[in-house]
Structure 1
Amino acid sequence: MTAKRPTIPDVFTHWFSSKAWRLRPYQKQMLVNKDKYKVTLLIAPTGAGKTLSGFLPSLVELTENQHKGLHTLYISPLKALTQDIHRNLLQPIEEMALPITAETRTGDTPSHKRQRQRRKPPHILLTTPESLMLMLSYADADTLFGKLKRVIIDEAHSLNTNKRGDFLSLALARLNTLSPDLQRIGLSATVAYPQTLGAWLAGSENTAHVIKVKAGKKPKIKIVKSKARIPFGGFMARYAIDDIYHAIAQARTALVFVNTRAQAEMLFQHLWEANTQALPIALYHGSLSKEQRRKTESLMATGELRAVVCTSALELGIDWGDVDKVIQVGAPKGVSRLLQRIGRANHRLDEPSDALLVPANRFEALECQAAITAIKKGQLDGESPQPGAMDIIPQFILNCLCSYPSTPEALYKEILNATPYQGLDKDDFNKLWQFTLDGGSALNAYERYQRLTKNNDGTYSPANKRVIQRHRQNIGTIVEAGRLKVKRIRRGNQGKVIGEVEEYFAQQLVPGDTFYFAGQVLKFEAIRDMQLHAKPAKAKEAKIPSYAGGQMPLSTFLADGVRDILANPSMWRNLPAQVKEWLGLQQAFSTLPSPGQLLVEQFPFRQTHYTLFYTFDGRKANQTLGMLITRRMEKMSIKPLSFSVTDYGLSISAVNRISEAQLTTLFQPDILGDELEDWMLQAPMLKRSFRQVAVVSGLTEQRYHAAQKTMKQVTFSTDLIYDTLREHDPDHILLTVARADAERELLDIKRLANLLIRYVGKTTLVNLEKVSPMAIPIVLDVRSEQIKGAGAHAMLEQANLYAEAESMLDEVRALLS
C-alpha cells in the first residue's frame, strides 16, 4: 500500500522548486494528516524546517479556502522568537503572493494595533502566553477565538515543566472551551521524554500523535585549549578571553552564550578591550530596551555583526543562517540546554554545528566533558513534570470571569482539562475559589478583596471595572524584582531609555559611581521619576549590575555524568591537562567521589575543622542541606561556624571534628522532618515565597494605572498580610501554596530528599591533614554570581584567592613527593 500523497497548491510546488527545496517526509505527513489528529507533536532537529512544517497545513488551508477571522495562533516563549518567526513567515507569504495576513501580538505591540487586531484579526497571529491570556480576558474572546482552527506551540519543551507552562496549559484549556474542534501542534528540537511532553500538550485529549525526525549530523564540540591557567573557581572565564576572541575572529558569525545577564555585561567589556581588529560585536539580554534588542536582531538578520554576547534570550529557535559558531562560556548546566544553544549554528541537517565550550573553572571542565559525552551518545536530560502551580488558579478564574460570567463548577471542569491540573483536589479548588471571591475569612472584611459578585442566574462576575483593570495589568507568572529604567543622558535631562536595572542595585549607587550597562560605561547621576539617569563616562573601576533569578541549576543527569568521569580515569583523556593533573593529585592525596558513595572529607583549615560533602546536586539543594546539617550539628555540640556551597558540594567549618558515628546521624533523611520545620518557620524565605504567590494570585499587584510599585512597597505589603494570616487564618490556602512553592523553587526539597535517601548508610569519611585538591574551590568559594563592588577590586580579590589556591596545591604536591 503506497503512502497517501499530500495535496498541495501549485503555487507552493513552484515556490519550493524556485528554492531548490522539496517536501521532507515529515512535512508531507503534517499535510496528509492535518485533519486526522487533534494533537500533534513534531520533534525535529534544528535546521530541519520544523517551524515551516507547523505552519504548512494552515498556509495551504488558507490558500485553498477563504477564512474570515483568526485561523491560526502561534505561541512562543520569547518575544524575540515571535518577531523572528514572523519575519521568516512573511517571506513565503509575500513571495507566493498568498492571500494571508500574519501579525505579532506581544507586550511590545502598540495599543492601537492591539485594538485593531481584536476588531479585525489577521489570519495568523503570533503571540506569547501572557498576551494570549490577556486577549482571553476580554468580552469578545469568544468572537476572536471562536473560529480558531489551529494553535502552534513552539519550543514546547521549554514550557512543560515550569510555572509559565502551567499558565499556558490553562490558556489552552480555555481556547478549547471557546473552539472545541481546535487542533494543537507542538514543535520542539530537544526532548528527553516525548510521551510526557505529548501528554502535556494534549490536555484532556490525553495523547498526542508524535512525529520524531531523525537527528542530523552530530555537532562538533570542543573544550577550549588555553595556554592560560584554568582557575579553581570564578564564573567569568577571563583567563580565556584571548581564546574566545580568536574563535570569534575565525568565525563568520558567532553567538557567545553565557548563563546570566551580569556575565553578559562583563564578558562584553572584556571582549571589547581585546577587540584589536574592531570587529562588530553586540550585546543582547532581556534587560536591554526593546529598541536596543530590535537593532541587534536586525543587524544579525542582515549579517552585519561578527558576534553577539547573549543569554538564554537567544537560545530558542532564532534562525540566523550565517551563524557558524556557538561559544558557550561557563558551565552548560544541562545537556538539552547546551544542544539547544549549539543548534543556533549552521542550520543545515547534513552539516554538523560547530561549538566551543569555555569552562570558567576546573569543575566546569568536568561538566563540559560530561555534556559532550552525553551528546555523542545521543542522550538528553529533562525535568520531570510536577503538579500545576496553584497560585495561578485564582488568576485564571478571574481571567475567565472578566470575559463572561461563569460558575465555580464550570471553571473547575475547565481547569481539569489542563494536564498539570488533572489531579487538582476539589477542596483545594474550593479554597482558591473562596480566596478569589473575597480573600478568605481573615481578609473578607476588606473591600479590596471583594473581587466577585454573584448574579441572579447563579453565575459570578468581577465586582467592578477596577477589579478587571487591576487583573489585566498584572497578568502573568513572572514576578519581577523592582526595576528602574536606565536613561542615558546626553545634555540637560534629555536622553534615551536603554534598558532596566534592578532596584536594589540602583539603591547602592551614589552620584559619581560608574557601572557597566548595555555594553558601555555609565556614570550615575540621580534617580528621577523611577528612572536612573546616567551619562556616558570613561572608567576602569565600574560596577556590574546584578540580577535576581539568573542562576541555572546543574541538571541531575549532568551531575551523574560528572560523577562517572571522576570515577573512571579512562574518561579523563579529553580533559585539559591542568584538570587531569588536579584530579590525579586528588586521587593520590585523598580519594575520588564514586557514583555509589558520598565522599566526605575532613581537614584542619584556618584554625577550624572543615567538612566537605561532595553531593553534585546543585546550589539550591546544597544550600538547604547546609542549613539543616548545621542546625543538627549545633544540637550535637559540634559547634558549626559557617558553610559555603557550589553546585558540586557543601563545605562546613566547625570548632569540633565529627566522628563516623556523628556523620551517620547527621546524614539521614529524617533531617527533613524537625530541622526543616523549625528552620522554615524562622527563615525569611517563606515570606519571600509568599510574596511571589501573592503577586501571581492577585492578592497584591505590581502595577496599577501608570504606577509601578517598588519591590520595597510590595514586600512591606505582603509581609504584613503574611503575618496577619499566620496569626488569624493559619490554614489559609495561600500559606499552603507558599510553603509548597518554597520547597520546590527555593529549597529543591525533592532533589535533596533523593540525595539523602540515595546515600543513607553510604558515606565515606576521609580524614586529611591538609585541604584536598578538589576541596580548594569549594572552601574558598571563589565563584560568585554577583559583583557588587568595584570591578577592579573584585578582580584583585579573585586573583589573591587564585594565588592562595595554587599555594594549597603546591603543599599537596610537596606532601606527595
Structure 2
Amino acid sequence: MMTLPPKFQKWFAARGWRIHPHQQELLDCSSAPATLLIAPTGGGKTLAGFLPSLVELADGKHGGLHTLYISPLKALAADIRRNLARPIAEMGLPVRVEDRTGDTPQSRRRRQRADPPHILLTTPESLALLVSYPDASRIFAGLSRVIVDEIHALAESKRGDQLMLALARLGSLAPGMRRVGLSATVDDPQAIAAFLARHPQSCRIVRADPGPRPDIAMLTTAAPPPWAGGGGRHAIPEVLQAIRAHRTTLIFHNTRAQAELFFRDLWLANEDGLPIAIHHGSLSREARERVEAAMAEGKLRAVVCTGSLDLGIDWGDVDLVIQIGAPKNIKRLVQRIGRAGHRYNAPSRALLVPANQWEVIECQAALQAVLENDLDGEERGPGGLDVLCQHILITACAGPFDADHLYAEIRTAGPYANLARADFDACLEFCATGGYALRAYDRWQRLIRRDGLWQLRDPRAARDIRMNIGTITESEMVRVRWQNRLGGQPLGEIEESFAATLAPGDTFLIGGQIVRHVGLREMVLEVAPAPGREPRIAVYSGTKFATSTQLSDRILRLLNDCPETLPEHAARWVALQARRSRLPRPGRLLVETFPVEGRPHVCVYGFMGRNAQQTLGLLLTKRMEELGLDPLGFVAADHATLIWGLNEVSDPAQLFDPDALRDGLEGWLIGNAVMKRTFRSVALVAGLIARNHAGARKSGRQATFSSDILYDTLCRYDPDHLLLRITRDEAMRGLVDFARIETRLAAIGNRIDHVALDRVSPFAAPLLLEHGRVPVHGAGRERVLAETAARLMAQAGLD
C-alpha cells in the first residue's frame, strides 16, 4: 500500500477526515495503465482521482504538464479548479492548476502552450484543438495521467469518440500515460472499461461503498396531474412548500422550454419573495455564472434547471432535488438525485413530480429502479466515422503522418478497437478528395501524399479545420441581448428557427424574463423588457429524451405484477383499463381498435420510446395506405401510437410485417427532412461543411442550404458516398430509432393481443388530448375533401 506523505496526513487530520478505502485503492494502483472508479456522488471520487497526482507533484521535481483532467462541462472544469486550489494552498504544494475551455482568453491559451501548468483542466473539444498543433509532442511529452470525469456521460455521445481518439494520440506522444475514469452512474463497468483503456483487460475497476439508499418519493399534490401534456405546474404550491422546508432545492426539467414556463409560474406564485433563479444551457455565460456564484455562496433557495446542472458540480448546500416530469432514464435520475446532500454516507433526498397521469406510472417504476440500484443503458455502437474523418484532418494539422501508423494508433481507442481497414481508408480518401462526386472541386482537395506521408495540401487550411473542431451540432442559435440603450448585455440564445418567426413587438421568455423583440442585427436579437405581457415561449430544443428500454420494461412489469403500489387514482385507472380492455403485457403487443366520433381508431402500445413510436406511426400509416385503409393522422407518446382514419383495421397483424416496415422506412427516408437534417450534422462533424470561417460564421440557414444541395448532389451522382452511408446508419439508429422497433417486434413475433372495443379505452383516452398530431396527406384526406365538397354542393343545390 502507498502511504500518504505526512503533509497529506496532517491535512486530512486537520479536517477530521480519514482517507476512504477507494481513495487509498486509487493511490495503490496509481501505476496501473487504466483505472475506472465507480463511487457515489459526494464520495470524494474527484479527490481520489487527483490524489496520486498531487502526491507525485508534491516534491516539486516535475516540470511541465503532469495531469490532464477532462470534463464534459466547462463549468465543471472551473469548479474543480476552485476545489483544488484549497488543498494545494493549505499544504503549500508547488502545483500550478489552470483550466482551458472555449471561455479561456486567447492570450492565456498561447501561454499555456508555451508553458503548460502541472494540472490542466479542459474539455474534449479543447483537447482536440491542442493535439492539432505541431508542438503537441512538446506540450504532452511529460504527461503522466489523464483523468476523465463523468465518463458515462461522454461514453454516450460523439464527444466521447472524439475524446478517445485524442487520448489515442496522447498515448503515442506520452507512452507512459495512465488513464483514470470517474463516474457515479455506470450500468456496465466492463463496457466503460473497454471504452476507456487501450487494452480493456488492463483496466482495473474500483468500486466504492455505494452508501445509503436515497430518500426518494413521489410528491403528493392537492391537484391531480392533468391527463396529458403538463409541465408540472399543477404542483407549484407543493413545490414552494418543499422549497421553504429546505436550504437549497434544485428543480430539474427535461427541456429548457419547460424550465422557463415553470420558473415563470413559480415566480408569480412566490409571494414570500424567496430567492429563486433559473439555469440552463441557452442562457448567457454571464447569467449562468451569476447563478452558480450565488448557489456556491448559499444565497439561493431554489434553482430551476435542466441538464446544465446534471453533472458533478458541488453547488453550495443543496439538500433537496425535485424532478419535474418523468425522468425517462434511471441513470439520469440517479445523477440528478446525487446533487442533493453531496455528502458521503448521507442519503440524498429527492421528490418526483409526474407531469401527467401516465407519468405517475412511469415515475413509480423509476422510483423502484432507483431504490434497487437497477441502472439502464443502451448498448454502445462503434465509433462514428464522421468523427474519425475530423480526427484525420486534426492529425494532418499537427504534421505529416503515416497511414499505417495512424490506423494502428486509432485502433487503440476503445470505440474504434474493431475499425475495419476499409472504413479507415474510406475516411482517409474522403479527407483527401471529398469522394468520387466531389473530387473535381479544389475546396475538398485537402490532403496530399508526399514521400509516403499524408499532409495538408495547403497548410493555411489548418486554421479553418481548427475553427470547426467539435461534434456538437445543435440547432443554430441566435444571441439575445438588451438593446444598446439598455447596455447591450447578453441574455442568452434562442433557436434561429424561432427567431425567424418573430416580428418587432413580439414577446417571449428567456431567463425567466418577458422580453420584447426590438430588432435582429447580424445574428444578434436585440430586446427590451416587456413586464406583464403574455409571452410566446422560446423554442429551446435542448435534449428530447425518450423512455429507456429498461424503464419501459419495468413499467410493463409494474402494470401487470404490482399495480397496487401506485397512488390510488393511478391504481383505479389501471384497474379500469384491465376491466374494459386489457393491460399491455411483457413480450406481447397490445393493439386496440375503437370508434371516436364516428372515426375508426387504432392504438398500438409498443413501449418503444417517443422517437420509435413516432416512426412507427409514420410506417403504420404508410402501410395502411398500401392496404387501402385510408389513414388520416396519428399522435405518438413514449408508450403508444394512436392512429385514426376512414376504414376499420380488422386484422392488425398485417400491419406489422417487418420487411414491409423496413421497405417503407427506407422509401420514406430517401427524400425526407430527417435524412437531410442528419446529413447536415454528419457533414459538419466530418468537415464537408465549415460553419466557421476567419472573420465570419455561417448562419444555420446558410449551412442548411449548403448541406441540402450537397445531399441532393450526392444522392444523385454518388449514392454510396461515405457520408451518405453514415447518414443512413445514424438516421436508422438515432432520430427514427428503427433498430428499437425491429428489436421489439422481433421479440414479440406473432403474439399480438387485438382488442376490439365499442368506445375509447381508459389508457387511449389521454392520447386524444396530446399535442403533436401528425396529419397523413393521402387517399383518406382526398376522400374526406371529396365527400365534404359533394355535401356542400348538394346543400347549395349544385349536385
TM-score greater than 0.5 by the shorter chain: yes
Shift of 1:632: 1.2
Structure 1: 5+ residue runs without aligned partners?
A: 786-817
Q: Quick check: 2:678–2:731 contact (8 Å CA) kept in 1?
A: yes
Shift of 1:7: 2.4
Aligned partners of 2:166 and 2:278: how far apart in 1?
A: 33
The answer to whether residue 772 in structure 2 is matched with residue 772 in structure 1 is no
Shift of 1:206: 4.5
Structure 2 residue identity aligned to 1:445: A
State the partner residue of 1:727: 716
Going from structure 1 to structure 2, the CA distance change for 1:783 and 1:434 (only over 3 Å counts) comes to closer
State the partner residue of 1:645: 636
State the partner residue of 1:791: none
- State how 1:664-703 maps to structure 2 within 5 Å: 664-703=653-692
Structure 2 residue identity aligned to 1:530: M
Going from structure 1 to structure 2, the CA distance change for 1:359 and 1:783 (only over 3 Å counts) comes to farther
Aligned mate of 1:240, from 225, 231, 235:
235
The answer to whether residue 499 in structure 2 is matched with residue 506 in structure 1 is yes
State the partner residue of 1:69: 64
Aligned mate of 2:726, from 720, 723, 737:
737
SS of 1:73 mapped into structure 2? strand
Going from structure 1 to structure 2, the CA distance change for 1:490 and 1:404 (only over 3 Å counts) comes to closer
Shift of 1:55: 0.1
Q: Quick check: 2:563–2:574 contact (8 Å CA) kept in 1?
A: no
Q: Quick check: 2:248–2:318 contact (8 Å CA) kept in 1?
A: yes
The answer to whether residue 526 in structure 2 is matched with residue 537 in structure 1 is no
Structure 2 residue identity aligned to 1:751: R
Going from structure 1 to structure 2, the CA distance change for 1:385 and 1:237 (only over 3 Å counts) comes to same
Aligned partners of 1:466 and 1:686: how far apart in 2?
A: 33
Q: Quick check: 2:254–2:545 contact (8 Å CA) kept in 1?
A: yes
The C-alpha deviation readout for 1:391-442, integer Å capped at 9, x for no partner, is 1111100101111210222221111111111222211221111110011121
State the partner residue of 2:268: 273
State the partner residue of 2:568: 577
The C-alpha deviation readout for 1:663-698, integer Å capped at 9, x for no partner, is 112123223432122212232221111111110000
Aligned mate of 1:25, from 21, 44, 56:
21
Shift of 1:769: 1.4
State the partner residue of 1:589: 580
Q: Quick check: 1:258–1:310 contact (8 Å CA) kept in 2?
A: yes
SS of 1:491 mapped into structure 2? helix
Aligned mate of 1:11, from 1, 7, 24:
7
State the partner residue of 1:410: 405
The C-alpha deviation readout for 1:415-472, integer Å capped at 9, x for no partner, is 11111112222112211111100111211111111111333x2212212244111111
The C-alpha deviation readout for 1:368-410, integer Å capped at 9, x for no partner, is 1111111222211112111111111111001011112102222
Going from structure 1 to structure 2, the CA distance change for 1:571 and 1:584 (only over 3 Å counts) comes to closer
The answer to whether residue 248 in structure 2 is matched with residue 253 in structure 1 is yes
SS of 1:283 mapped into structure 2? strand
State the partner residue of 1:476: 470
Aligned mate of 2:80, from 81, 85, 91:
85
The C-alpha deviation readout for 1:148-178, integer Å capped at 9, x for no partner, is 0000000111111322211111111111111
- State how 1:396-545 maps to structure 2 within 5 Å: 396-455=391-450, 457-489=451-483, 491=485, 494-545=487-538
Structure 1 residue identity aligned to 2:107: H
Shift of 1:784: 9.6
Q: Quick check: 2:248–2:320 contact (8 Å CA) kept in 1?
A: yes
Shift of 1:92: 0.7
SS of 1:442 mapped into structure 2? helix
State the partner residue of 2:165: 170
The answer to whether residue 641 in structure 2 is matched with residue 656 in structure 1 is no
Going from structure 1 to structure 2, the CA distance change for 1:285 and 1:784 (only over 3 Å counts) comes to farther
Q: Quick check: 2:297–2:316 contact (8 Å CA) kept in 1?
A: no
Shift of 1:231: 0.6
Aligned partners of 1:271 and 1:49: how far apart in 2?
A: 34
Shift of 1:706: 2.8
Shift of 1:520: 0.6
State the partner residue of 1:220: 215
Aligned mate of 1:147, from 142, 161, 172:
142
Q: Quick check: 1:288–1:499 contact (8 Å CA) kept in 2?
A: yes
Shift of 1:321: 4.6
State the partner residue of 1:757: 746
Structure 2 residue identity aligned to 1:608: R
State the partner residue of 2:785: none
Shift of 1:65: 4.7
State the partner residue of 2:543: 550
Structure 2 residue identity aligned to 1:413: A
SS of 2:186 mapped into structure 1? coil
The answer to whether residue 611 in structure 2 is matched with residue 620 in structure 1 is yes
Structure 2 residue identity aligned to 1:480: E
Aligned partners of 1:539 and 1:374: how far apart in 2?
A: 43
Aligned partners of 2:543 and 2:52: how far apart in 1?
A: 38
SS of 2:260 mapped into structure 1? helix
Q: Quick check: 2:601–2:645 contact (8 Å CA) kept in 1?
A: yes
Moved more, 201-210 or 366-375: 201-210
Aligned partners of 1:248 and 1:588: how far apart in 2?
A: 41
Q: Quick check: 1:199–1:207 contact (8 Å CA) kept in 2?
A: no
Aligned partners of 1:207 and 1:557: how far apart in 2?
A: 30
Q: Percent identity?
A: 48
Q: Quick check: 1:150–1:185 contact (8 Å CA) kept in 2?
A: yes
Going from structure 1 to structure 2, the CA distance change for 1:453 and 1:596 (only over 3 Å counts) comes to closer
State the partner residue of 1:51: 46
State the partner residue of 1:710: 699
Structure 2: 5+ residue runs without aligned partners?
A: 775-799
Q: Quick check: 1:169–1:418 contact (8 Å CA) kept in 2?
A: yes
Q: Quick check: 1:609–1:657 contact (8 Å CA) kept in 2?
A: yes
SS of 2:688 mapped into structure 1? coil
Going from structure 1 to structure 2, the CA distance change for 1:321 and 1:783 (only over 3 Å counts) comes to farther
Aligned mate of 2:280, from 270, 285, 289:
285
SS of 1:755 mapped into structure 2? helix
**RMSD, aligned CA:** 1.5
Going from structure 1 to structure 2, the CA distance change for 1:549 and 1:770 (only over 3 Å counts) comes to same
The C-alpha deviation readout for 1:341-377, integer Å capped at 9, x for no partner, is 0001112222211101000011111111111111222
Shift of 1:780: 2.3
Aligned partners of 1:653 and 1:401: how far apart in 2?
A: 55
Q: Quick check: 2:563–2:571 contact (8 Å CA) kept in 1?
A: no
SS of 1:68 mapped into structure 2? coil
Shift of 1:578: 2.2
Shift of 1:205: 5.1
- State the aligned residue count: 774
Aligned partners of 1:206 and 1:653: how far apart in 2?
A: 54
Aligned partners of 2:671 and 2:687: how far apart in 1?
A: 26
State the partner residue of 2:624: 633
Shift of 1:490: 6.1
Q: Quick check: 1:321–1:345 contact (8 Å CA) kept in 2?
A: no
Aligned partners of 2:571 and 2:200: how far apart in 1?
A: 52
Aligned partners of 1:727 and 1:206: how far apart in 2?
A: 46
Aligned partners of 2:108 and 2:660: how far apart in 1?
A: 56
Shift of 1:23: 0.9
Aligned mate of 1:121, from 106, 109, 116:
116
Moved more, 73-82 or 403-412: 403-412
Shift of 1:549: 4.8
Structure 2 residue identity aligned to 1:620: N
Structure 1 residue identity aligned to 2:506: D
Aligned partners of 1:592 and 1:440: how far apart in 2?
A: 53
Q: Quick check: 2:635–2:772 contact (8 Å CA) kept in 1?
A: no
